[in-house]
Amino acid sequence: MDRNQQLFERARALIPGGVNSPVRAFRAVGGTPRFVQRAEGAYFWDANGARHIDYIGSWGPMILGHGHPAVVEAVQKAVRDGFSFGAPTEREVELAEEIVKHLPAVEMVRLVSSGTEAAMSAIRLARGATGRSRLIKFEGCYHGHADALLVKAGSGLATFGHPTSAGVPPEVVQHTLVLEYNNVAQLEEAFTRYGNELACVIIEPIAGNMNFVRASVPFMKKLRELCTNHGALLVFDEVMTGFRVALGSAQALYARNIPGFRPDLTVLGKVIGGGMPLAAFGGPRALMEHLAPLGPVYQAGTLSGNPVATACGLATLQQISDPRFFPMLEARTRTLVEGLRGAAEAEGVPFAADHQGGMFGFFLLPQLPANYGEVMKSDAAKFGRLFHGLLDRGIYIAPALYEAGFVSSAHSEDDIAQTVAAAREVFRTLA
């Protein structure tokens, strides 16, 4: 008897679609979602007791794997001291210090409870600090489900977007301009038309919601120049990439290739909470002091800086700050990606992949895409067969071809070898 199926049927009677976040429903790949019973290290066990090698890791936070002893100990101690106070704690300060220590662009930080809240608040801050209303986002980048960000590209070049969700009035997104990722010419045209009206540009430097697509260095360099010249703020959404692709996050990678590069505001989540509901946004002191109670931009939250969440996040950041950590994680991820690439090539399956730190993505395409339109050329039906073939062999990847994957320090060489061997078996059926 399939306990996953039983639970899904119960859930659908009570929860819309049977899930509390849409991608979990397996709509893109078909079949029954796996209900997780428990997790440890690189694995989780579903409701049937079947073990899976987990390459989602709660969509990124579990960079140390599930249940790392140092993190568990910190959380247990915090729980004994109290769940929530609605008042400041020393640990909030310690976590802020840890974040600021590793991100030169961040001098002050405000803790919140979710990536959506952090991105929404950063945009409000950008508008409040500049006195402007318009903003740019890029097609294929996801910044949470705030109304102004649930938009898709308009019908023509550099046109304003229109809602992609019911319940979002067109007038709410009238100030949101949607451009093609990595398109320098379109970016220049948008700034020519609207540069003096733009409060900010928000971007995922490595877009993890169209699988894994990097912003090219020339594109990022031009974006930084245009924002500086026109007085718009550059907002880096590093909810997914923050402390996941490098200790200094994605912004450190661009700083290696663009002298003096820094974003104006940074949005963080996932890893900084270690699996607990915690996110943040931060930037230079002069900008952050526009926030209440110092300035006129209001933002507040009952559970912001929750003492249990900050204990989890702080313990996680302390572990990954070991100078040996990211070289090890990068090597492990590279082994996985190169193994998958070799397995696909051996079976004659088109396959392109990229990775950074503990984050990776692949496409059943002959070359890496540069934007959402190219990502959409992926073969969804073939991906569904790959997903279920891996799932049947105990390998759990994202149940949608538009989502990145994640490796943790808990993944062993044997886990990766098993994954590559399973993938080659499945690739053989796709050729």
Q: What amino acid positions are annotated as catalytic residues?
A: 142, 237, 270
For 66, the token pair is 């599930």
For the chain, the C-alpha Rg in angstroms (whole number) is 21
Measured CA to CA, the distance from residue 134 to residue 159 in angstroms comes to 12
Contact between residue 180 and residue 215 where contact means Cβ atoms under 8 Å apart: no
For 356, the token pair is 């950074």
Contact between residue 307 and residue 91 where contact means Cβ atoms under 8 Å apart: yes
Cα 390 off chain centre by? 23
Tell me which amino acid residue 85 is. Answer: F
Q: Name residues whose C-beta falls within 8 Å of residue 216's C-beta, 6 or more positions apart in sequence.
A: 182, 370
For 414, the token pair is 């044997």
* Helical packing angle, 307-320 and 325-346, nearest 10°: 80
For 129, the token pair is 């600090």
Residue with the two structure tokens 């929860």: 15
